[in-house]
Each structure stands twice: as structure tokens, then as C-alpha cells.
Amino acid sequence: MILLFAIAGFVFVADQLTKLWALRGLAAGPIVVVPGFVDLMLVLNPGVAFGIFAWLPPQWRWLVTVFSLAALVLLCSVALRIVPGGGWLGRIALGLVFGGAAGNLLDRWRLGSVVDFVDVHWRQYHWPAFNVADSAITVGVVLLAAEIAFASPRRQDGG
């Protein structure tokens, strides 16, 4: 569990520090990182992943926070089942997901929206803006899926 909490803590702190920088450093306008492909620009996302439910009126946005908190509680219950018998990959994956989820949840609670700032695009096509927490959650989910998919099956006969 120490590895899980260490990774979650690291992701949470890195996420919050980069978002603080984005709020201060990108308020004046975007920064081009790779011309025509990657920009850093401040986006306040009131929705969930990839802007889903961003259309909700402000008086209903508290539901997004409730759903996010419920997902975190569900993930905790899954983690309590997976971590004791799982390997290091599962612990890393859950640490990434927990840290990212906590970072985005804090934004929702504090600001009413999530601070996103990485804009990947090509010509007129844009991937939804994202942040460190979103990246950690995505990598964590992929690692967790790999852990589940490639784990050797446990024998049910006790042997």
C-alpha cells in the first residue's frame, strides 16, 4: 500500500502544481510548444472527462462532483480487493488513478471546474484539452487493464 499512496501523492502534488502554474502563467494566452501540434492554453472544464456534461447548467454541476466522488469510492472498493493479491503493476496503476482523480476532484470542489491546459491538435482537429491528472488516470487505467488481462488465473481448488 505504501507504493500506491506514494504514487498517488506524487501525482496529486504534480497535478496541483502544474494547474497552479497554468492558472497564473497561461491567463495571458497560449504558449506554442510544438507548432501546429501542441499548445499550452488555459481551459476550465466544467464537465467530466473530455468535456462530457459540460453543457449542464451551473445549478446542476454539483452532480458532476457527486458522480466523481462516487467513482472514487467505487475505485477504492475495487482497490481493496485487487491490491492485497495483486502485483506491483496494479499498485502503480491504482496510485496513478487515485492521484489523478483526487486532483481533479479538488479542482471541482475548489473552482467548480477542472483546470486543463494541454491542447493537442492537428489542422482543425483538436483532442480535448487535458492535464497531469487526466494523463495519470489514462495511464493507470491502461496498466490496470493490462494487470487484469495478463494476470495468471488463480486456481479455485486451493492448489
Question: Does residue 159 form part of some domain?
Answer: no
Query: Residue 114: inside a domain, yes or no?
Result: yes
Average pLDDT over residues 5-16: 97
At 98-120, the pLDDT tens digits run 999 999 989 988 988 899 999 99
Mean pLDDT of the chain: 84
Using the predicted structure, report yes or no on whether residue 84 has a pLDDT greater than 70: no
Q: Is residue 158 part of a domain?
A: no
138 domain-assigned: yes
Residue 155 placed within a domain: no
Q: What is the mean pLDDT of residues 35-59?
A: 78
pLDDT at 76 over 50: yes
Kindly report which listed range (37-41, 93-97, 132-136) carries the lowest average pLDDT score.
93-97
Is 62 part of a structural domain of the chain?
A: yes
Task: Say if CB 75 and CB 93 are below 8 A apart.
Answer: no
Q: Is residue 44 part of a domain?
A: yes
- Which residues are identified as catalytic? 116, 134
Please state the domain count of the chain. Answer: 1
Expressed as residue numbers, the domain containing 72 is: 2-150
Question: 16-40 burial string, b = 16+ CB within 10 Å, else e?
Answer: bebbeebeeebeeeeeeeeeeeebb
Quickly count: other Cβ atoms within 10 Å of residue 81's Cβ.
9
Does 58 reside within a domain? yes
